[in-house]
Amino acid sequence: MRLIRTTDYNDMSRKVANIISAQVILKPKSSLGLATGSTPIGAYQQLVRWYEKGDVDFSEVCTYNLDEYYGLLPSDPHSYRHFMDTNFFDHINIRRENTFVPDGANLDREAECARYDALLQAVGHLDLQLLGIGRNGHIGFNEPGEVFSKGTHCVDLSQSTIEANSRLFGSIDDVPRRAYSMGVQAIMNARMILLAASGEDKAQAVHDMIFGPVTPRCTASILQLHTNCVVVADRDALSLCPQA
Ligand code: PGA
């Protein structure tokens, strides 16, 4: 696990964007695993700016998102499909048919998980998987539990995740209780993992991810076993980690 220390959210965002942009420049046909949430927004904005300047071209890139709320239509303003469109895809030259997000509107869980896994299996290995980290150490919506998940599955969201995400909804009661999530095995299958973390509320999870035991009770700890995992974290997120 390689750690890149940054001063703050903006510094973290620029460094994350730099790594993604280098990936796309080096391999225009890259397959990128993408994440939603507050963490990657700054990196997406930076990538849009570089795209507008002509520095990076997404015309051949394919993207696969980590997760989606179960039961939300793609057009729902709270859906992760809508998040990706409005924060990133609408502003770059990616081909819409090359962007994949689990379909929250498909209520047949078995069919939807099988469909998404088939898409991922057709790619083989994603070139780069971007991740945030939950306060409880989740990656994607792989919540703390007794075992690491393998394939795409429909999860019951933990209370802490529902509370953390309620800031984006009208009230906590509006937060969906379930979500589709890419499995841990699929995430670990990526050639490179790029995890971004910002803010003091992530400090415990970041500490446990890097220094704790590898355990499904802190899902991100499994990244210690990945041979090419880069963590870009700001000072606040690293506030519980030793300085060395
Ligand atoms: P956040 O979410 O970027 O909104 O903090 C990260 C996550 O829950 O994975």
Task: Tell me, yes or no, whether 160 lies in a domain.
Answer: yes
- Is 70 exceeded by the pLDDT of residue 113? yes
Please state, in angstroms and rounded to a whole number, the distance separating the CA atoms of residues 232 and 15. Answer: 7
Beta strand pairing call for 67-69 and 153-156: unpaired
- Is 90 exceeded by the pLDDT of residue 170? no
Task: Tell me, yes or no, whether 223 lies in a domain.
Answer: no
Is 22 in a helix, a strand, or coil?
A: helix
* pTM higher than 0.95: yes
Task: Tell me, yes or no, whether 232 lies in a domain.
Answer: no
Please state, in angstroms and rounded to a whole number, the distance separating the CA atoms of residues 163 and 173. Answer: 10
Residue 1: what pLDDT? Answer: 94
Out of 39, 84, 155, 157, give the residue to mutate to test ligand 1, the one with the largest number of ligand atoms within 8 Å of its CB.
39
- Is 80 exceeded by the pLDDT of residue 153? yes
Residue 244: what pLDDT? Answer: 56
Residue 177: what pLDDT? Answer: 96
Catalytic residues: 67, 136, 138, 143
Residue pair 31/63 in contact by the 8 Å Cβ criterion = yes
Using the mean position of ligand 1's atoms as its centre, give its distance from the Cα of residue 237 in Å: 12
Residue 147: what pLDDT? Answer: 95
Is 183 in a helix, a strand, or coil?
A: coil
Task: Tell me, yes or no, whether 229 lies in a domain.
Answer: no
Count of domains forming the chain:
1
Using the mean position of ligand 1's atoms as its centre, give its distance from the Cα of residue 234 in Å: 14
- Is 80 exceeded by the pLDDT of residue 34? yes
- The domain spanning residue 42 has which CATH number? 3.40.50.1360
Residue pair 113/153 in contact by the 8 Å Cβ criterion = yes
Q: What is the mean pLDDT of residues 37-47?
A: 98
- Is 70 exceeded by the pLDDT of residue 133? yes
Task: Tell me, yes or no, whether 199 lies in a domain.
Answer: no
Out of 13, 38, 231, give the residue to mutate to test ligand 1, the one with the largest number of ligand atoms within 8 Å of its CB.
38
Residue of the CA atom closest to atom 7 of ligand 1: 134
| Token duo for residue 191 | 């050639």
User: Which residues have C-beta atoms less than 6 Å from ligand 1?
Assistant: 37-39, 132-134, 138
pLDDT digits (tens, 9 = 90+) for 80-103: 999 999 999 999 999 999 999 999
Residue-range definition of the domain harbouring residue 181: 2-192+204-210
Task: Tell me, yes or no, whether 137 lies in a domain.
Answer: yes
Mean pLDDT value across the chain: 97
Residue 242: what pLDDT? Answer: 87
Q: What is the mean pLDDT of residues 132-138?
A: 96
Task: Tell me, yes or no, whether 227 lies in a domain.
Answer: no
Task: Tell me, yes or no, whether 222 lies in a domain.
Answer: no
Residue pair 173/218 in contact by the 8 Å Cβ criterion = no
